[in-house]
């Protein structure tokens, strides 16, 4: 799972497998996503503008507005809170994303590796709305592409990123509860579909 | 109304031919109706097999089969039949299904019939026809209002052992099977511009109007058939029958993607700010839910505007023996005839105080049912065609065993007359369904012209009421109110809607003369049939001074239980008003609260049951630990290995003792990922930690770790952990597993609310790193095999309390901390979580030559008690740094949370509790956590209490049980023998006060 | 209840953790002469109004902002919502 396994330790996915898991339903595919590296980026006191410009040149695009996410090339970023973003990049090429980002930001920002703090499930298909409304209180039917909503699913705090309304989402939750989150998604899918 | 009526073909009965064919099976089945033909559905009631049709309720199907007796009353076990045809039903409560799916107290009037439905009567023994407990009815003079309060007062000792079990056995309605419910229940969340509650003419017109304007609309109705009273009446809308108009409206709504139509969905409560609770019964109308599909769904609906179009409920008139099966509400009798093609009997009489009751007579006559009398309390009652009218007359008594056979009238002339009838249709007028308008403390107002309460005062935010729920009873008024209401609600949201031209519909006024109860007669006239409350009970309550409506309710139980008095409250209030010489509005109503109708516990719990009660957090080594056969324990949401049994070990102590000894003698490994980890960065990070911890952090060198104690602002210690400094402006702090969320929350509070200009950034990294403690004299040797050779972890290069970033296993990033909870030479090593599983395997493999053992939370606990380290039992919300023996750690040179108040006199008394250790004088005695400490001699009492033991364990190192705890002046009492007492179990042992550091008190091992 | 978050818009109060009176922002100076008394008042003395009440809510299942919510404790009407950090600064808190 990733070329950085060239040391003596072999990675496992949040669900405990060596390959990401997939669950297919009529009109919905739930897919465990393990190929992204994550790093949080917080602006230091009074350094918001510097963070914006340094991040923009590193990411090749501006940091997103509140409750939004944006992809630019291989990077993507979503808003987590005031002056706080999560940046993601392909794990294979950016396992050391936090270090790279810190290099780019210097004293202007605080960067923390978050890759393995999270698990991510992709949801794809026409039944996304029906399944999501059994899981969280986000107003998904009124959502737009690029929304990044912090919400909770079965008591778990998650980020819900909308790629295409009603068709494609990412659900990003705490890694230690990957099993519970996956169970919630699959149960909701079975319930609806 | 147009003369041409177009029938709704697909819903009308048309299948198995003649009246004769239907009657052949079901004696009281009529022609027409909205039930579906085709193959009859088979069901059982009390084991007897019956047939009904799709579209029936259990009640309509039983009535069709000539069954009027459906239940026994709560207190007197009187035989009862359905009073209504809807969710307000007080009498016809049954148990549906069996085994794990058995559901008590279900109203037969709303139970949708399906093939194979199994229903049973309840609250009767041995059978519905012969109920032994009906003996209560003979003692009714004794079982009056306030009976419980008067009878079971004394002696007090009888209450728990005698009275309560008797009452519990006798009271209550249905029973439960005690088998686990096999079905799933879902929760869900919906958003809309306009929520329409009720799909009668008002609600449908509102939904159509709003839907056509493009608004997001949800329309919900508790019934499985939309249309409300339109299904129960014969009048049409425009050129269509009511039912055909409903079908047309439903088809149009279904074509709009912005409208969600939710039949079988009850809005159960109106909550703050436009939030509504709704229960959708997705599988109650089938034999069993499909695999994976829920039986019911609890929806939380976020609405910008809501329209209550919940209609109205008819109310009865109380008279002597008005509870015999066959006495029903007139609107219900009409609904059974028109919608379900059923009459409760072939001869029916009508008793009314308003014009609406006459419709029942007319509709029954049109269906060929013999109406033996129309009894109208009004002297100026309108004329009736096809039945004998008794104007200004009253029903004063009824006769019949297990069902109505005749009624006795007092005519206007004063003479009495008996009229034969198997059913009596009673109408006392209609009450708007105001319930949801009262869920936010709204109080309805009295409207004299309809003699009923209507919504008034402060309605729930952004709710409007329309149609019959608002006291507008005609169909034309309902359509108009629905359309206008939708336009008004949407205009507040900036959405333009048009009411358009409305179809023609009946617009008859309600002519009602209030008439609540028949005064004649010495017997019982029932007000609340569900709770067996009579007119006499209300009089008694009044006489005994329980006169406020809320007192009346509690004293008599009027309006309690599953129906919440939907048909009975009004009568009770009216009688109380009369007795008190007040007007009805002066008496007021009781407070309506959610839920509107009963809600199952299953749907409230949703999927949060059993193992899924809450999410589970698994450690990175979970899979490996499972392979080792570990026993797991829940620690908060985490599942942690408690111990690792080996072949041949038959008792957990054997495993734990082995894990402790092997760790202390060689090396042990434990997954400590669960500790909270918070990354703290920024120029002011050190200063921030100075505020958070009682002890100082500003001067902690980079590459070092320090123990930290956190206080609450009141000076009580609440959490401890370590802070590792990775750079001048970068720390990683740990919290206890239990307090991780709280510490993070408090840190954010300090950062945002107390020190908003500090340059500090916080984020949790608990999950990102898999962290393992490697402890024991061989810990370094083991780690040297795993840590890449370019990193020197010798004692000199990497001393106690050191930390650093390293690599392991040939290049995997890792963090190493030299900290010890066990008191041994120990490290904690962290790798990115995805490598945690491989790391534990690697560590165990490297440790094989040392006999390395994995250890669980039990051994961890034993070792920390042996070492005298405080944990949750010691940080118990009452103890200060001083109590913990860390008083000197609290820096006086700086401000920190809790610093100032920890200096209070009361927290610094000379005889303060101090943390010490305890060893039993007799080595075989077990030390018990929770035991209280008493001096060697003297009384055992709260007054002489010297402290208590917080944690205890068997120490395999010392070969005896040991404990730590808090003792007054404990630090100066070492060597003293005192008593540890457990009065609950009558136990008392002698213990010697010792240092809490049982093992290696000088701390040489961990520095070695 | 719905809390109109200044950054995120309307959010369900289920996502929040309630703390209490917004006066908890006004933590006394530890070096004041009567610091102990001030801290006692700060920690233990609260107004409990039936009506408008300024209180602290933490968006724990959201963006982790602390908010000062002015809420009518009788009707639950929410009159104003501010970021607590802005309130703290306006009340003179700094480092």
Partner A contacted by B683 (CB < 8 A): yes
Q: Which of B272, B684, B904 has the CB atom closest to C36's CB atom? A: B904
- φ, ψ for residue B104 (rounded to 5)? -85, 165
Interatomic CA distance for residues B55 and B33, integer angstroms: 9
Write the pLDDT tens digit of every residue in B934-953: 999 999 999 999 999 999 99
Cross-strand bridge partners of residue A147: A68
Query: What pLDDT, on the 0 to 100 scale, is given for residue B151?
Result: 66
Question: Would you call A151 and C63 a contact, using CB atoms and an 8 Å cutoff?
Answer: no
pLDDT tens digits in sequence order for chain C, 95 residues long:
999 999 999 999 999 999 999 999 999 999 999 999 999 999 999 999 999 999 999 999 999 999 999 999 999 999 999 999 999 999 999 98
Q: Which of B273, B745, B748 has the CB atom closest to C2's CB atom? A: B273
Domains of chain A plus CATH, in order, are 22-34+118-192 (3.30.1360.120), 36-116 (3.30.70.1520)
Question: Would you call B753 and C60 a contact, using CB atoms and an 8 Å cutoff?
Answer: no
Q: Which residues of C touch A151 (CB under 8 A)?
A: 15, 61
Partner A contacted by B792 (CB < 8 A): no
Q: Which residues of C touch B711 (CB under 8 A)?
A: none
Query: What pLDDT, on the 0 to 100 scale, is given for residue B153?
Result: 64
Partner B contacted by A118 (CB < 8 A): yes
Rg (CA), chain A: 17
Band of pLDDT at residue B23, cut at 50, 70 and 90: low
Write the pLDDT tens digit of every residue in B840-849: 999 999 999 9
Query: What pLDDT, on the 0 to 100 scale, is given for residue B205?
Result: 98
Assess whether B649 and B698 both reside in one domain: no
Q: Which of A45, A84, A134 has the CB atom closest to B186's CB atom? A: A134
Question: Would you call C8 and A81 a contact, using CB atoms and an 8 Å cutoff?
Answer: no
Query: What pLDDT, on the 0 to 100 scale, is given for residue B77?
Result: 86
Q: Which of C2, C39, C94 has the CB atom closest to B757's CB atom? A: C94
Q: Which chain C residue has its CA at the smallest distance from A139's CA? A: C11
Assess whether B810 and B948 both reside in one domain: no
Q: Which residues of C touch B899 (CB under 8 A)?
A: 30
Which residues of chain A fall below pLDDT 50? 1-3
Band of pLDDT at residue B164, cut at 50, 70 and 90: confident
Question: Would you call A7 and B812 a contact, using CB atoms and an 8 Å cutoff?
Answer: yes
Q: Which of C12, C63, C83 has the CB atom closest to A150's CB atom? A: C63
Q: Which residues of B touch C5 (CB under 8 A)?
A: none
Buried b (16+ CB within 10 A) or exposed e, B346-377: ebbbbbbbbbbbbbbbbbbbebebbbbbbbbb
Say which CATH number the domain at B100 has. 3.10.20.440
Write the pLDDT tens digit of every residue in B499-536: 989 999 999 888 899 999 999 988 899 999 998 999 99
Residue B628 domain boundaries: 618-674+768-864
* Chains in contact with chain B (at least 3 beta-carbon pairs closer than 8 A): A, C
Question: Would you call B835 and A141 a contact, using CB atoms and an 8 Å cutoff?
Answer: no
Assess whether B788 and B694 both reside in one domain: no
- Beta strands B913-920 and B987-994 are antiparallel
Please identify, among B864, B893, B923, the residue that sits at the C-terminal boundary of a domain: B864
Write the pLDDT tens digit of every residue in B232-257: 999 999 999 999 999 999 999 999 99
Residue B224: CA count within 13 A, CB half-sphere: 20
Alpha-carbon gap: B755 to the closest alpha carbon of chain C (Å): 4
| First CA to last CA distance, chain C | 33
Helix/strand/coil (H/E/C) assignment for every residue in B62-82: HHHCCCCCCEECCCCCCEECC
**Which of B174-188, B418-432, B615-629 is the least confident region?**
B174-188
Best of C62, C82, C87 to substitute, by most chain A Cβ atoms within 10 angstroms, is C62
Query: What pLDDT, on the 0 to 100 scale, is given for residue B132?
Result: 76
Question: Would you call A155 and B614 a contact, using CB atoms and an 8 Å cutoff?
Answer: yes
* Non-local CB neighbours of B786 within 8 Å, separated by 6+ positions: B808, B809, B829, B842, B843, B846
Q: Which residues of C touch A150 (CB under 8 A)?
A: 61-63
Say which CATH number the domain at B261 has. 3.50.50.60
Alpha-carbon gap: A40 to the closest alpha carbon of chain B (Å): 8
Residue A176 Cα distances to A16, A118, B245, B525, B766, angstroms: 10, 8, 55, 64, 9
Query: What pLDDT, on the 0 to 100 scale, is given for residue B714?
Result: 96
Interatomic CA distance for residues B476 and A166, integer angstroms: 40
* Residues 621-680 (B) with a CB less than 8 A from some CB of A: 622-623, 637-638, 673, 679
Alpha-carbon gap: B753 to the closest alpha carbon of chain C (Å): 5
Q: Which residues of A touch B607 (CB under 8 A)?
A: 154, 184, 187
Tokens 């995805």 appear where?
B834
Q: Which residues of B touch A178 (CB under 8 A)?
A: 618
Partner A contacted by B833 (CB < 8 A): yes
- Beta strands B406-410 and B416-420 are antiparallel
Q: Which chain C residue has its CA at the smallest distance from A85's CA? A: C63
**Residue B393 domain-assigned?**
no
**Residue B534 domain-assigned?**
no
Best of A86, A150, A177 to substitute, by most chain C Cβ atoms within 10 angstroms, is A150
Assess whether B812 and B929 both reside in one domain: no
Interatomic CA distance for residues B847 and B851, integer angstroms: 6
Query: What pLDDT, on the 0 to 100 scale, is given for residue B145?
Result: 73
How confident is the prediction for chain B on average, in pLDDT?
93
For residue B824 the two structure tokens come to: 């041994």
Q: Which of B714, B749, B904 has the CB atom closest to C66's CB atom? A: B749
CB pairs B-C closer than 8 Å: 81
* Chains in contact with chain C (at least 3 beta-carbon pairs closer than 8 A): A, B
Question: Would you call C31 and B895 a contact, using CB atoms and an 8 Å cutoff?
Answer: yes
pTM over 0.80? The answer is yes
* Chains in contact with chain A (at least 3 beta-carbon pairs closer than 8 A): B, C
Tokens 């001096």 appear where?
B935
Question: Would you call A45 and B188 a contact, using CB atoms and an 8 Å cutoff?
Answer: no
Closest CA to B567 of B74, B69, B85, B89: B89
Mean pLDDT of B556-566: 91
Partner B contacted by C76 (CB < 8 A): yes
Band of pLDDT at residue B152, cut at 50, 70 and 90: low
Assess whether B738 and B774 both reside in one domain: no
Assess whether B680 and B631 both reside in one domain: no
Write the pLDDT tens digit of every residue in B723-754: 999 999 999 999 999 999 999 999 999 999 99
Assess whether B782 and B656 both reside in one domain: yes
Please identify, among B129, B151, B173, the residue that sits at the C-terminal boundary of a domain: B151
CB pairs A-B closer than 8 Å: 154
Mean pLDDT of B537-543: 93
Q: Is B428 helix (H, G, I), strand (E, B) or coil?
A: coil
Buried b (16+ CB within 10 A) or exposed e, A3-28: ebbebbbebbbbbeeeebbeeeeeeb
Band of pLDDT at residue B37, cut at 50, 70 and 90: confident
* Residues 17-76 (A) with a CB less than 8 A from some CB of B: 34, 40, 42, 44-46
Domains of chain C plus CATH, in order, are 2-94 (3.30.2270.10)
Q: Which residues of B touch A147 (CB under 8 A)?
A: none
Assess whether B26 and B126 both reside in one domain: yes
B109 touches B328 (CB < 8 A): no
Query: What pLDDT, on the 0 to 100 scale, is given for residue B140?
Result: 74
Alpha-carbon gap: C88 to the closest alpha carbon of chain B (Å): 5
Residues of B within an 8 Å Cβ radius of C: 272-275, 302, 440, 458, 461, 684, 687, 713-714, 741, 745, 748-749, 752-758, 895, 899-901, 903-904
Partner B contacted by A183 (CB < 8 A): yes
Question: Would you call A82 and C7 a contact, using CB atoms and an 8 Å cutoff?
Answer: yes
Partner B contacted by A88 (CB < 8 A): no
**Residue B681 domain-assigned?**
yes
Assess whether B95 and B191 both reside in one domain: no
Assess whether B668 and B741 both reside in one domain: no
| Residue B143: DSSP 8-state | S
Alpha-carbon gap: B688 to the closest alpha carbon of chain A (Å): 14
Interatomic CA distance for residues B304 and B492, integer angstroms: 10
Say which CATH number the domain at B754 has. 3.30.70.1400
Assess whether B117 and B212 both reside in one domain: no
Assess whether B50 and B133 both reside in one domain: yes
Query: What pLDDT, on the 0 to 100 scale, is given for residue B611?
Result: 87
Query: What pLDDT, on the 0 to 100 scale, is given for residue B170?
Result: 65
Please identify, among B492, B524, B539, the residue that sits at the C-terminal boundary of a domain: B492
Residue B571 has pLDDT above 80, yes or no: yes
Cross-strand bridge partners of residue B710: B693, B719
- φ, ψ for residue A156 (rounded to 5)? -105, 130
Query: What pLDDT, on the 0 to 100 scale, is given for residue B223?
Result: 98
Best of A11, A51, A191 to substitute, by most chain B Cβ atoms within 10 angstroms, is A191
Q: Which chain A residue has its CA at the smallest distance from C83's CA? A: A82
A162 touches A176 (CB < 8 A): no
Q: Which residues of A touch B769 (CB under 8 A)?
A: 116
Domain count, chain B: 5
For residue B536 the two structure tokens come to: 């006499």
Closest CA to B203 of B222, B224, B179, B219: B219
């Amino acid at each position: 799972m990733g070329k950085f396994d060239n040391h003596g330790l072999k990675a496992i996915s949040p669900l405990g497998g060596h390959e990401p898991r997939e669950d297919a339903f009529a009109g919905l595919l739930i897919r465990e996503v393990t190929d992204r590296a994550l790093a949080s980026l917080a602006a230091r006191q009074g350094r918001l503008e510097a963070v914006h410009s340094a991040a923009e040149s590193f990411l090749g695009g501006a940091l997103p507005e509140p409750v939004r996410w944006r992809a630019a090339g291989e990077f993507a970023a979503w808003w987590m809170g005031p002056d706080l973003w999560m940046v993601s990049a392909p794990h294979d090429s950016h396992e050391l994303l936090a270090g790279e980002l810190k290099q780019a930001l210097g004293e202007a920002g605080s960067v923390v590796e978050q890759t393995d703090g999270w698990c991510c499930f992709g949801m794809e298909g026409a039944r996304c709305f029906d399944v999501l409304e059994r899981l969280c209180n986000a107003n998904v039917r009124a959502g737009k592409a690029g929304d990044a909503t912090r919400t909770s699913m079965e008591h778990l705090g998650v980020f819900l990123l909308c790629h295409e309304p009603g068709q494609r989402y990412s659900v990003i939750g705490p890694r230690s509860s990957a099993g519970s989150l996956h169970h919630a998604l699959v149960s909701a899918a079975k319930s609806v579909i | 109304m147009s003369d041409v009526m177009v029938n709704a073909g697909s819903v009308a009965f048309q299948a198995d031919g003649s009246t004769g064919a239907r009657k052949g099976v079901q004696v009281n089945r009529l022609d027409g109706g909205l039930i579906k033909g085709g193959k009859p559905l088979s069901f059982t009631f009390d084991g007897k097999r019956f047939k009904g049709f799709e579209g029936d309720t259990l009640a309509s199907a039983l009535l069709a089969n000539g069954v009027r007796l459906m239940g026994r009353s709560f207190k007197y076990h009187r035989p009862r039949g359905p009073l209504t045809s809807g969710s307000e039903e007080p009498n016809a409560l049954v148990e549906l299904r069996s085994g794990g799916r058995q559901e008590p107290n279900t109203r037969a009037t709303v139970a949708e019939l399906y093939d194979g439905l199994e229903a049973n009567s309840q609250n009767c023994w041995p059978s519905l026809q012969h109920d032994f407990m009906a003996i209560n009815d003979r003692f009714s003079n004794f079982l009056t209002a306030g009976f419980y309060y008067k009878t079971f007062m004394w002696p007090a000792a009888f209450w728990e052992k005698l009275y309560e079990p008797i009452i519990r056995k006798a009271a209550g309605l249905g029973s439960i099977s005690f088998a686990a419910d096999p079905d799933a229940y879902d929760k869900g969340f919906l958003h809309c511009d306009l929520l329409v509650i009720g799909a009668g003419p008002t609600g449908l017109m509102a939904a159509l109007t709003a839907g056509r304007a493009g608004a997001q609309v949800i329309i919900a109705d508790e019934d499985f058939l939309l249309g409300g009273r339109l299904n129960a009446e014969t009048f049409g809308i425009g050129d269509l029958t009511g039912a055909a108009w409903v079908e047309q409206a439903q088809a149009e709504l279904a074509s709009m993607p912005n409208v969600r139509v939710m039949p079988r969905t009850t809005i159960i409560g109106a909550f703050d700010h436009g939030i509504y609770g709704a229960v959708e019964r997705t599988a109650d109308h089938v034999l069993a839910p499909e695999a994976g599909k829920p039986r019911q769904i609890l929806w939380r609906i976020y609405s910008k505007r809501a329209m209550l179009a919940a209609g109205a409920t008819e109310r009865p008139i109380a008279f002597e023996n008005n509870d015999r099966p066959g006495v029903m509400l007139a609107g219900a009798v009409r609904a059974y005839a028109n919608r379900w093609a059923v009459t409760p009997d072939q001869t029916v009489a009508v008793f009314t105080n308003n014009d609406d009751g006459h419709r029942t007579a007319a509709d029954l006559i049109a269906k060929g049912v013999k109406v033996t009398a129309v009894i109208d309390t009004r002297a100026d009652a309108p004329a009736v065609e096809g039945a004998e009218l008794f104007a200004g007359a009253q029903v004063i008594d009824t006769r019949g065993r297990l069902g109505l056979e005749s009624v006795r009238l007092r005519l206007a002339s004063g003479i009495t007359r008996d009229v034969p009838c198997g059913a009596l249709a009673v109408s006392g007028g209609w009450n708007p369904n105001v319930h949801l308008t009262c869920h936010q403390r709204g109080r309805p107002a009295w409207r004299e012209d309809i003699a009923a309460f209507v919504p008034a005062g402060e309605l729930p935010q952004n709710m409007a009421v329309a149609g019959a729920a608002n006291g507008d009873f005609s169909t034309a008024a309902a359509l108009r109110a629905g359309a206008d209401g939708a336009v008004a609600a949407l205009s507040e949201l900036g959405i333009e809607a048009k009411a358009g031209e409305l179809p023609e519909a009946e617009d008859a006024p309600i002519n009602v003369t209030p008439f609540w109860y028949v005064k004649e007669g010495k017997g019982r006239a029932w007000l609340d049939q569900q709770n067996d409350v009579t007119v006499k009970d209300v009089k008694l309550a009044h006489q005994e001074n329980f006169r406020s409506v809320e007192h009346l309710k509690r004293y008599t139980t009027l309006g309690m239980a599953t129906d919440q008095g939907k048909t009975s409250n009004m009568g009770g209030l009216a009688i109380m008003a009369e007795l008190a010489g007040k007007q009805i509005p002066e008496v007021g109503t009781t407070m309506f609260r959610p839920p509107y109708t009963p809600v199952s516990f299953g749907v409230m719990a949703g999927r949060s049951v059993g193992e899924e009660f809450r999410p589970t957090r698994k450690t990175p080594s979970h899979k490996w630990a499972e392979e080792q056969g570990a026993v797991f324990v829940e620690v908060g949401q985490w599942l942690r290995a408690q111990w690792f049994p080996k072949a041949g070990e038959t008792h957990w102590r054997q495993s734990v003792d082995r894990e402790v000894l092997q760790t202390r003698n060689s090396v042990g490994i434990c997954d400590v990922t669960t500790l909270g980890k918070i990354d703290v960065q920024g120029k002011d990070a050190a200063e921030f930690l100075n505020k958070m911890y009682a002890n100082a952090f500003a001067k902690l060198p980079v590459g070092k770790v320090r123990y930290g104690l956190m206080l609450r602002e009141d000076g009580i210690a609440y959490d401890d952990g370590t802070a590792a400094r990775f750079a001048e402006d970068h720390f990683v702090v740990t919290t206890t597993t239990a307090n991780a969320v709280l510490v993070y929350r408090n840190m954010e509070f300090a950062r945002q609310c107390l020190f908003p200009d500090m340059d500090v950034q916080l984020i949790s990294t608990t999950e990102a790193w898999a962290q393992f403690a490697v402890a024991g004299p061989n810990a370094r040797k083991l780690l040297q095999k795993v840590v890449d050779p370019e990193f020197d972890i010798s004692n000199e290069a990497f001393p106690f309390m050191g930390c650093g970033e390293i690599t392991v296993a040939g290049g995997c990033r890792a963090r190493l901390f030299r900290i010890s909870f066990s008191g041994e030479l120990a490290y904690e090593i962290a790798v990115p979580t995805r490598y945690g599983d491989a790391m534990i395997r690697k560590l165990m493999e490297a440790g094989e030559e040392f006999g390395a053992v994995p250890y669980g939370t039990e051994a961890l606990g034993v070792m920390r008690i042996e070492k005298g380290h405080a944990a949750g039992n010691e940080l118990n919300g009452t103890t200060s740094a001083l109590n913990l023996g860390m008083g000197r750690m609290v820096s006086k040179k700086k401000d920190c949370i809790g610093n100032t108040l920890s200096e209070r006199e009361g927290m610094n008394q000379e005889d303060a509790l101090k943390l010490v250790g305890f060893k039993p004088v007799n080595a075989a005695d077990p030390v018990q956590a929770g035991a209280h400490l008493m001096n060697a001699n003297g009384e055992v009492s709260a007054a002489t209490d010297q402290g208590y033991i917080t944690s205890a364990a068997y120490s395999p190192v010392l070969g005896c049980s040991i404990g730590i705890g808090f003792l007054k002046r404990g630090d100066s009492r070492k060597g003293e023998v005192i008593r540890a007492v457990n009065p609950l179990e009558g136990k008392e042992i002698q213990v010697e006060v010792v240092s809490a550091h049982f093992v290696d008190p000088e701390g040489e091992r961990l520095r070695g | 209840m719905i809390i109109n978050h200044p950054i995120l818009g309307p959010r369900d109060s289920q996502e929040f953790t309630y703390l209490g009176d917004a006066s908890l922002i006004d933590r006394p100076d530890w070096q004041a002469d009567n610091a102990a008394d001030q801290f006692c008042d700060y920690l233990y003395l609260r107004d409990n109004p039936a009506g408008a009440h300024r209180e602290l809510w933490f968006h724990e299942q959201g963006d982790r902002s602390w908010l000062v919510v002015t809420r009518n404790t009788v009707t639950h009407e929410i009159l104003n919502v501010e970021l607590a950090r802005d309130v703290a600064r306006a009340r003179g808190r700094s480092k």
